[in-house]
């Protein structure tokens, strides 16, 4: 049977409960022990285990908890004597947008804490499929329901009948623009295209949109005169700028940029200003220099010169940022803005809320694009795809396709194939911060199959923020990502080993040399928060929860901290004393230039971390309008790309906070270009 649906079709056949086709949820973390509680509504429940009739149950209300992605998932099941009356997840700590709802009343996509219970009740079986991209949470919900059924005296085999599925169909859908990938760049492109009058279909292989943007550090770089005017510029920070304009230019364009910043800096000093200097040119120069001058400077200019406009645009959509400026991990300058919501949930919820209110945009989830469609002239006119129920799709796009499928840091085969610079040793066993259902390089492969050129695929980034349990970019104090001025990095011996405000690659290379290739962020009660009992991690967990699960260590004194870390107390205290002296003098043994507080007052917090695969700077080659180029340098008609799938923007080292800028700036640009 072949079925044809318009862009505005009301039923999303692909957004069903399905097994994940592109990989699972982020790797599981250690959770609290399993707990089980029965609260039967009748006394007969005490003899439930004696029930033998097929499918029979003892009526009652039962609860059970099983370990999910971030902690216990608690389920309440109500039964009568022969059926499951209701299933409800009553408590969980799962990641918003993946395991739990991103926004109240969320209707787009498939969220396991909502959809799995509904499917179990509808089908009267626990043998429902997992949600693509959230298999761990899905398994926790189903396991807890099984526990409850056991309490009700069920023979579990009677409640594991597979759900009968409809025969696969061929489905045609039409729109002006098809966006492949529902991460930050794809959602920005879809909204931008709609703002420019297009009808849009978003094709996302996971059960819900968000991609790796959902679990990112949520920091955004751009010059901000209002906030930066509140920051005094220290002599040490001035040295960073002066070193930046003292580099030897690699070509005339680089020299022109250096000269522009030098002139701005000269005028700034002539005006007698003392607050933090910044400009679009300095942002561009730092990004280019920080990427080892191998990026394509015209693309760097698009990124940095449009960062302020992108910042304003996403705020107009409803995005909220904190009202302070900081220096994000590896961002190299105090121009970092931080979301008011945990991780990337602020960005994605902003996009989702706008899309939900936009009749011109439709999401199709749990569906993986497999091939780009071209007409006889070579123009890209659509995408073929398949959902996890076996339905095949042809998404026709009258204006063209936006590829926004991310990079390939979670694809170890591709990483090892392109890891050729000599910077990194064997990366085959290095964990990734990325979700395994994302960053597989599939969009790059599809583009390459129709002749797209690739750019700088060998440029691979590690990040030192991965937890030591599974590498996930989760469960760390907020200052770890945007508080470089308030912490130090120590190894297992209690010694500093690197400048904390340096480049990401330089820090990671040093981390890999430390005992067990790990280190600790060490911070104190000085600075942003003084009460760790009320502080929250970057993803919204209490410090107490994280200490109980082993993600952080809290100690009232350095002696106690040394004992908990297993290092020499005198070594640790000497390390802190030396750093505190550097705060006073402005001179640091490792060349650090950014300070704000001494580490003096307990409690102290240590966060164990490791260097993990994080971002791939290479990808399909694009021009300054986001058009994908072929091997001859000509645009492939009808095809644009945005986000981490592209190459040439960041060079040999991406500055922290620039990835989200990339998704906003080039996502918005892609939507504009494809609708022209």
Model confidence at 90, pLDDT cuts 50, 70, 90, reads very high
pLDDT over 90 (residue 611): yes
Q: Between 658-674 and 307-316, two packed helices, what is the crossing angle to 10 degrees? A: 80
pLDDT digits (tens, 9 = 90+) for 501-524: 999 999 999 999 999 999 999 999
pLDDT digits (tens, 9 = 90+) for 292-309: 999 999 999 999 999 999
pTM of the full structure: 0.87
For residues 13 and 167, the answer to whether their CB atoms sit within 8 Å is no
pLDDT over 50 (residue 21): no
Question: Per-residue pLDDT averaged across 397-416, rounded?
Answer: 96
pLDDT over 80 (residue 606): yes
pLDDT, the chain, mean = 90
pLDDT over 70 (residue 241): yes
Model confidence at 13, pLDDT cuts 50, 70, 90, reads very low
For residues 428 and 409, the answer to whether their CB atoms sit within 8 Å is no
pLDDT at residue 346, rounded to an integer: 94
Sign (positive/negative) of CA torsion 643, 645, 649, 654? Answer: positive
Distance of alpha carbon 351 from alpha carbon 361, whole angstroms: 11
Nearest to 348 by CA among 103, 56, 61, 638: 103
Model confidence at 108, pLDDT cuts 50, 70, 90, reads low
pLDDT digits (tens, 9 = 90+) for 111-156: 999 999 999 999 999 999 999 889 999 999 999 999 999 999 999 9
Question: Per-residue pLDDT averaged across 617-639, rounded?
Answer: 98
pLDDT digits (tens, 9 = 90+) for 175-186: 999 999 999 999
Length of the chain: 676
Say if strands 200-203 and 361-364 run parallel, antiparallel, or are unpaired: parallel
Model confidence at 216, pLDDT cuts 50, 70, 90, reads confident
Distance of alpha carbon 5 from alpha carbon 394, whole angstroms: 10
Q: Is 612 helix (H, G, I), strand (E, B) or coil?
A: strand
pLDDT digits (tens, 9 = 90+) for 538-572: 888 889 888 998 999 999 999 999 999 999 999 99
pLDDT digits (tens, 9 = 90+) for 40-89: 333 333 334 344 466 789 999 999 999 998 889 999 999 999 999 999 99
Distance of alpha carbon 173 from alpha carbon 504, whole angstroms: 43
pLDDT at residue 538, rounded to an integer: 80
Question: Per-residue pLDDT averaged across 262-280, rounded?
Answer: 97
Model confidence at 36, pLDDT cuts 50, 70, 90, reads very low
pLDDT at residue 2, rounded to an integer: 43
Q: What is the DSSP string of 485-532?
A: GG-EEE-TTS-B-S-TTS-HHHHHHHHTTSGGGEEEEEE-SSSS-S-T
Question: Per-residue pLDDT averaged across 88-96, rounded?
Answer: 92
DSSP 14: T
Model confidence at 92, pLDDT cuts 50, 70, 90, reads very high
E strands of 115-257, at which residues? 170-180, 200-203, 219-221
Is 504 designated active site?
A: yes
By percentage, how much of the chain surpasses pLDDT 70? Answer: 91
Q: Which residue has the higher pLDDT, 54 or 647?
A: 647
Enumerate the β-bridge partners of residue 75. Answer: 64, 89
Distance of alpha carbon 278 from alpha carbon 270, whole angstroms: 15
Model confidence at 199, pLDDT cuts 50, 70, 90, reads very high
Q: Which residue has the higher pLDDT, 452 or 22?
A: 452
Distance of alpha carbon 98 from alpha carbon 111, whole angstroms: 6
Say if strands 635-641 and 170-180 run parallel, antiparallel, or are unpaired: unpaired
Residue-wise burial string across 559-573, b where 16 or more C-beta atoms lie within 10 A, e elsewhere: ebbbeebebebeebb
pLDDT at residue 33, rounded to an integer: 36
496, 504, 592, 609: which is the annotated catalytic residue?
Answer: 504
Distance of alpha carbon 625 from alpha carbon 362, whole angstroms: 25
Model confidence at 110, pLDDT cuts 50, 70, 90, reads confident
pLDDT at residue 3, rounded to an integer: 42
pLDDT at residue 188, rounded to an integer: 98
Q: Between 252-270 and 297-305, two packed helices, what is the crossing angle to 10 degrees? A: 30
pLDDT at residue 133, rounded to an integer: 86
pLDDT over 60 (residue 598): yes
């Amino acid at each position: 049977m072949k079925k044809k649906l318009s862009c505005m079709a009301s039923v999303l056949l692909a957004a069903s409960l399905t097994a994940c086709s592109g990989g699972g949820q982020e790797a599981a973390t250690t959770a609290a022990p399993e707990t089980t509680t029965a609260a039967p509504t009748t006394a007969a429940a005490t003899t439930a285990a004696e029930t033998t009739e097929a499918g029979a149950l003892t009526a009652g209300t039962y609860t059970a908890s099983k370990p999910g992605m971030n902690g216990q998932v608690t389920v309440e099941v109500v039964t009568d004597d022969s059926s499951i009356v209701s299933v409800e997840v009553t408590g969980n700590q799962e990641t918003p947008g993946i395991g739990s709802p991103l926004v109240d009343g969320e209707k787009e996509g498939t969220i396991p804490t909502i959809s799995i219970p509904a499917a179990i009740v509808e089908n009267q079986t626990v043998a429902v499929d997992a949600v693509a991209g959230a298999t761990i949470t899905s398994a926790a919900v189903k396991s807890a329901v099984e526990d409850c059924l056991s309490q009700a005296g069920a023979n579990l085999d009677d409640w594991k009948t597979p759900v009968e599925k409809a025969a696969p169909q061929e489905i045609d859908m039409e729109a002006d623009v098809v966006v492949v990938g529902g991460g930050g760049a794809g959602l920005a492109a879809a909204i931008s295209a709609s703002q420019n009058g297009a009808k849009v279909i978003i094709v996302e292989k996971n059960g819900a949109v968000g991609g790796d943007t959902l679990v990112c550090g949520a920091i955004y770089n751009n010059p901000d005169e209002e906030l930066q005017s509140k920051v005094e510029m220290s002599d040490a920070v001035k040295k960073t700028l002066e070193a930046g304009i003292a580099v030897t230019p690699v070509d005339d364009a680089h020299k022109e940029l250096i000269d522009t910043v030098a002139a701005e800096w000269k005028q700034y000093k002539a005006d007698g200003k003392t607050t933090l200097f910044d400009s679009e040119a300095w942002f561009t120069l730092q990004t280019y220099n920080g990427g080892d001058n191998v990026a394509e400077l015209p693309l760097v200019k698009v990124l940095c010169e449009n960062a302020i406009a992108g910042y304003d645009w996403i705020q107009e959509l409803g995005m909220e940022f904190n009202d302070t400026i900081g220096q994000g991990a590896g961002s190299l300058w105090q121009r970092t803005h931080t979301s008011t919501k945990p991780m990337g949930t602020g960005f994605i919820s902003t996009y989702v809320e706008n899309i939900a209110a936009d009749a011109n945009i439709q999401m199709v989830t749990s569906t993986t694009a497999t091939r780009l469609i071209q007409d006889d002239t070579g123009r890209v006119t659509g995408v073929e795809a398949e959902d996890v129920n076996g339905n095949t799709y042809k998404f026709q796009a009258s204006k063209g396709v936006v590829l926004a499928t991310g990079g390939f840091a979670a694809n170890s085969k591709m990483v090892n194939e392109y890891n050729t610079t000599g910077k990194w040793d064997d990366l085959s066993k290095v964990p990734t911060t990325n979700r395994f259902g994302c960053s597989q390089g599939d969009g790059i492969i599809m583009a390459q199959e129709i002749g797209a050129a690739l750019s700088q695929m060998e440029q691979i980034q590690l990040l030192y923020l991965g937890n030591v349990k599974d590498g996930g970019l989760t469960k760390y104090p907020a200052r770890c990502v945007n508080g470089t001025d308030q912490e130090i990095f120590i190894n297992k011996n209690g010694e500093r080993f690197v400048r904390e405000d340096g480049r990401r690659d330089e820090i990671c290379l040093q981390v890999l040399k430390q005992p067990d290739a790990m280190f600790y962020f060490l911070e104190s009660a000085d600075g942003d928060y003084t009460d760790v009992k009320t502080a929250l991690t970057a993803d919204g967990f209490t410090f107490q929860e994280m200490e109980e699960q082993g993600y952080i260590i809290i100690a009232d004194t350095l002696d106690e901290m040394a004992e908990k870390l297993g290092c020499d107390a005198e070594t640790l205290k000497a390390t802190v004393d030396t750093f505190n002296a550097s705060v006073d003098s402005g001179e640091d043994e490792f060349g650090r230039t950014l300070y704000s507080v001494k580490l003096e007052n307990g409690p102290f917090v240590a966060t164990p971390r490791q260097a993990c695969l994080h971002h791939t700077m290479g990808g399909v080659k694009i021009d300054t309008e986001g058009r994908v180029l072929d091997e001859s340098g000509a645009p492939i008609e009808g095809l644009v790309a945005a986000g981490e799938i592209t190459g040439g923007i960041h060079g040999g080292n991406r500055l922290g906070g620039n990835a989200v800028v990339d998704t906003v700036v080039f996502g918005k640009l892609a939507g504009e270009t494809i609708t022209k």
